[in-house]
Chains A and B, each alone.
Chain A
Amino acid sequence: MKTIGKIFLSLSLALLFCWVAPWLYRLITLKAYATPFTLYSCTLHDFTSLDRSDEREFRFIDRSGGVHGDEAQPMFYASILASRGALPDSIEGRKISLEEIDYHSVIASSDPKDVNRTVPPVYLLMESVPERLELKDPEDAMVSRKSGIDIYDMATNTLRADKTAALNAALKARGFVFPARLFAGKPSHRKEYDEGYLVTDAEGKLFQLKQVNDSVTVRHFPAADGIGIDFLMITEFENHATLGYLTGADGCLQFLCPDGRIINTTVPFNPRKEDLLIVGDMFYYTVKVSDDKGERFWALRSSDFAPVDSMSRAYPHQRNLPGISFTSSTDSRVKLRLQQ
């Protein structure tokens, strides 16, 4: 036992050193840096980055070094331009107005920490067609189990047997194979409308579950069969341009349209390791995919989500000491990780 004690203490001290030394080194040597906010400009047809070197001025720099004012981003700074009377009447031959710009404005993001989060198989169920029009806090919740999805009344923690039986019968009728794998939804009343949940079954088929008049409706998206969906995100934007975003076995970002079509943007995106930021307007979507090495941008045409331009920016290299760590910037799990 004495020898085991000695070995235990020595190993523990070695592990402690390998954990603390790289952390201390990073703490001392880490240099903060900021990357500029970058969007695709519908007037310049180029990516422009916000330059705040002079804090009193908002300047946008395009890729060839040209300096522009707010008019380089008339969609993002529409209110400011309108207050100066500088908002153009039309862009690319299309008439624009503040209301229309606002209606088509889209911002969405995904963080690997959220994607990798261990979540309980419990999903709050909102009423999508509320009696008084305003969305209300959910009263029921779905609990995903091996043999089906059970619906509970949260206030009393009791199974709503009729509703559960109706949902499972509807799911089976549409070819749903239990257990469900992925759920994506935003059960919050702080949104314009509710589209319920996008769900994949045990075979990877895509469905939408939505509560309408206290009954859960089921919709199947045959276009997604065989894609191998491994990431789902519901959008619920005011303009109903998309129903959700997803990634499949090909590792590219795909858009699910309300009519059930799936458009592959061909933007490579690994949701478990990379951040995603999408800023869209009437004309273009700027898609930013970033990790700890750098960020890549794509401009997609809003009408058909076809890529029109791309650029990338590498972050300055930070030297790290090899060692071990137990946490990561891409997930919340604690486990032993080797650091190069």
Chain B
Amino acid sequence: MTRMILYKEWLKTRWTLAGIAAVVAALTFYCFLNLGKVVEIRGAALLWETLVAKDTVLTEILRYMPAFAGALLALAQFVPEIQHKRLKLTLHLPYPQGRMLLVMVAFSLLSLTVLFALQAGVCALCLTRWIPAELLARILRTMAVWYLSGWAGYLFVSALCLEPTWRMRVLELLVAAGFLRLLFLTPVPEAYNGFFWVLLLYVMASGSLLFLGVARFKEGYQD
């Protein structure tokens, strides 16, 4: 049954996932095409100087992409479920409801993680040619928060989709907006170093909102 649910999620989201993968690939390619040109014209020393002296990690063009990717995937996955109350049918399948929601969420989070890991891997591979491990680690530590925003974007938009009433949806929207603002408070590299694990725990805890929405739906709350 788990395999069937995964297949259903794959059918729903494959084109969205393909589109996200294409945008991720294109942005990454564009970013490194630019950096390659800079190195060709001005030399790799400029990358060192910029990374050391300025508040940049050279890959800022990728900053908001994970959050958009997460939100888009959540819409592709849950909008079909709430249209014409198909969620009711899904919840009536002979499978524990909690586990079903968990499988659906795990499918998307894993898909996003694979995409983000691939992108981070490509970044690391390209940059290793030009900069030492210490500067590369600085870039990846900074990008980790961007990827966290991808997970947060997915979980909050999913929760908004599954919540049956507008009153509660507005409250969740306030929390989502506040949290995403927090993840993009400053562009300074490594600004979130000491706080990352707290944010990660918070994002994981935000998954409980999905279960709250489903429970309220089952209890008959609706506008």
Please pick, from A8, A12, A157, A187, the residue contacting B129 in the complex, using a CB distance under 8 A: A157
B192 closest partner in A (C-beta): A334
Q: Does B171 contact A (CB under 8 A)?
A: yes
Cβ–Cβ contact B49 & A124, under 8 A: yes
Cβ–Cβ contact B134 & A120, under 8 A: yes
B216 closest partner in A (C-beta): A2
Cβ–Cβ contact A1 & B175, under 8 A: no
Alpha-carbon distance A156/B49, docked complex (angstroms):
14
Task: Report the minimal beta-carbon distance from B81 to chain A, rounded to whole angstroms.
Answer: 18
Q: Tell me what chain B mostly uses at the interface: helix, strand, loop, or mixed.
A: helix
Cβ–Cβ contact A332 & B175, under 8 A: no
Given A122-B52, A155-B43: A5 and B185 interface contact (C-beta under 8 Å):
no
Q: Does B110 contact A (CB under 8 A)?
A: no
Segment with Cβ contacts to A, from B5-13, B23-31, B67-75, B205-213: B205-213
Given A1-B98, A120-B138, A157-B129: A8 and B188 interface contact (C-beta under 8 Å):
no
Alpha-carbon distance A55/B53, docked complex (angstroms):
38
Task: Report the minimal beta-carbon distance from A151 to chain B, rounded to whole angstroms.
Answer: 11
Cβ–Cβ contact A2 & B49, under 8 A: no
Q: Does A19 contact B (CB under 8 A)?
A: yes
Most buried by A among B53, B174, B208, B211: B208
Q: Does B82 contact A (CB under 8 A)?
A: no
Number of A-B contacts (CB under 8 A): 113
B contacts with A, residue count (CB < 8 A): 46
A contacts with B, residue count (CB < 8 A): 38
Alpha-carbon distance A118/B131, docked complex (angstroms):
18
Alpha-carbon distance A157/B130, docked complex (angstroms):
6
Q: Does A333 contact B (CB under 8 A)?
A: yes
- Mask for A9-43, Cβ within 8 A of B = 1, else 0? 10011001001100000000000000000000000
Using CB atoms and an 8 Å cutoff, list the residues of chain A in contact with chain B: 1-2, 4-6, 8-9, 12-13, 16, 19-20, 117-124, 137-139, 141, 143, 152, 154-157, 187, 326-327, 332-336
Using CB atoms and an 8 Å cutoff, list the residues of chain B in contact with chain A: 43-45, 48-49, 51-53, 55, 98, 129-132, 134-135, 137-138, 171-172, 174-175, 178-179, 182, 185-186, 188-195, 198, 205-206, 208-213, 215-216
